Structure 1
Amino acid sequence: MIPFNKIFLTGNEQKYINEALISGKISGNGSFTKKCQNFFEKKYSFKKTLLTTSCTDALEMCAMLANLKEGDEVIIPSFTFVSTALAFLRTGAKVVFADSYADNPNIDPKGIERLINKKTKAIIVVHYAGIACDMDAIMSIANKNNLIVIEDAAHAIDSYYTDRKGVKKPLGSIGHLAAFSFHETKNIVSGEGGLLVINDDRFIERAEIIWENGTNRSKFFRGEIDKYGWVDIGASFLASDILAAFLWAQLEAIDEIQAKRVALWNHYYETITNSCTTPDFEIAPIPDYASQNGHMFYLVAKNLKTRNKLLALFKNKGYHAVFHYSSLHKSSYYTNKHDSRILINSDRFSDCLIRLPLFVDLEFSTIDQMVADVLMDSYIKKVI
């Protein structure tokens, strides 16, 4: 069976973990944590970064920094992982779900404006598959309504948005706050792990405090105060320096990893578009303002029945293809507490999207064989 995902090891992960162990500093905010944070700030011009134990933790920090409380509302795409919503629900805020575009799973800015009221405090965008949302439109809406924008960039490491003036910006650098994931299914991994990005100066000092259990411990370690104490809410969001050591080995090889993943994505696209003319599925277009970072290659089947048959075909031929999110607005947890909403596009992607295997060690020849075995018109028409 060709797996859906397989982690790529650079060869230095164990070496750096051993260095962390020998140093005797394996808790959070050690030397490898600082190396990783400095890397992100330098390479992507993020104003401030803090390594966390997960992307979920980074999103929870965003919710705290936004100072959300019961009665506040946040706008979130329905087609996303549950962590995107949970991080904000825990504050007592109400999650208001927005629909996707008709032709790609990202949040449609036109739907956002209709959901804004005096209770709305933030917009959370998810750059699905590493493809940028329309950040000019979203930031314009946010600025007009004095809202905080939080980028859920779990899929989006090393992906870019080109604004209306032609300026290319890394995803995660545009909103007021952003969160990245280094889960083992992502491009750059540490098993578990995440990153909070702070792009707005007003949140930097408080982010450090929340990161350190609500204390001003970071200031103490920098020698800025003679003792530290409890000054705010927070939690232990710091990642172990062992995880940071693993991540550092990955970051050293990020250009190599990204070059291969992008090449694999391009090979999928070229092979399928040159070989298949079936109406049974389509490839979602990438907007002109977005790049693709090789995180995920997916197809959109014409309906749920076709999607399920295609998944069965992949499995029978020895390829582990998978579906993705179920619309959060239809989840039992949400509908038990709120009226169900109609979000046609989100539901379509929930029913029809198929993710294909994509990992650094995947061979181009395997992609060719997969397309021939499952997706070629002559074969599909006999089965579907």
Structure 2
Amino acid sequence: MLVLKVKFRRVTCKHLENIQFIIRLLIMLGYFILATVVIFIIVCLTLLIITTRFGHLKCESYECLIGKTAVVTGGSSGIGYQIVLSLASRGCKVIIIDRIVDESIKNSIVEETDNPNISLEYADLASFKSVRRVAQKLNKTEEKLDILINNAGIGLSKGELTEDGLQPTMQINYYSHFLLTHLLIDLLKKSGKGKIVFTSSLLSFVHMLLPSLSKQDNLDPPNWLDWLAYTNTKFLTIVASDIFAEKLKKFNITCNTYHPSVANTTIFSKSEKNLENILDWSFFQFLKFLVFVGAIHPKLACQPALLLSVSKEYEKVTGIFYGNFLPKLKPRGCGNKKFCKNIWEISENIVKLEPEEILQ
């Protein structure tokens, strides 16, 4: 009986030693992960501060835009509002397409720029019918369109699908602008020197779309990764812009995208009420922290859009992704022609382009 007890104690000691070793290993692994996260955050913050504080662009063009017409989506607030102010101050006729149609916004712009040629048109970018309705109206009322700035966007949407059966962030940020651009091509052709500018983001570099994508696949991220819809849309915007640039070159229409840096807007703070899981919450807390540390005023953030749409220096430049320290760099996948063609054809099917609306 005594021998059995001794053996039992020896086995227990060995088990304890193993458990202690595993615990130490887990603690070391925890420290390693924590250190990796801290280093990652420090690197991100350093790059953010360098690009926002010391590398922001400025449009120094004083080009007169009297006689020209511009359309700006999401022009009632944030970066879009600053774009509208800048265009209007140059004498441009500006049409704002937004869900917020408030006469006080128009009055504020007119008062600040002394330009009465400002109008607001209602469109819900979560509805293709609404997009078609506003495009149809513009095609009837406007003689030409010189500048189209696809700026509107949201950060995170709830799980409910739109009336078209699509993920809201995907439709508002990407599909509706893809459709709107197609529907306004004829007006841009009449300009003779049409300009299309898409607002993208540096977050396009962390998209989750794979080159193995086929024409039958969906571009939406998995439901449990809804926050990746935003990064996907910013990548898709660049892909679509590049193809628009190629197809419209013969009509003397340029198309470019830009990174506005980290702007102090409400695009992400408004999305907090839609957070439904810990991944979404963590992602947006991280974004809020980045905004707190390195955000710039929307007046500075909109400068690349103005350079691409106004400056003579970029009059013939097309098919670029432009921003702080990004004169040529594009996200992975942009150079894969088959991948990009599949994305374009999937987008055509999803927005249900009519045969006469398809760009050859």
With the shorter chain as reference, the TM-score category is 0.3 to 0.5
TM-score by length of 1: 0.31
Q: TM-score, normalised by structure 2?
A: 0.33
Q: Which has the larger radius of gyration?
A: 2
Q: Which structure has the highest helix share of the two?
A: 2
* Bigger RCO (CA 8 Å, 6+ sep): 1
The answer to which structure has the higher strand fraction is 1
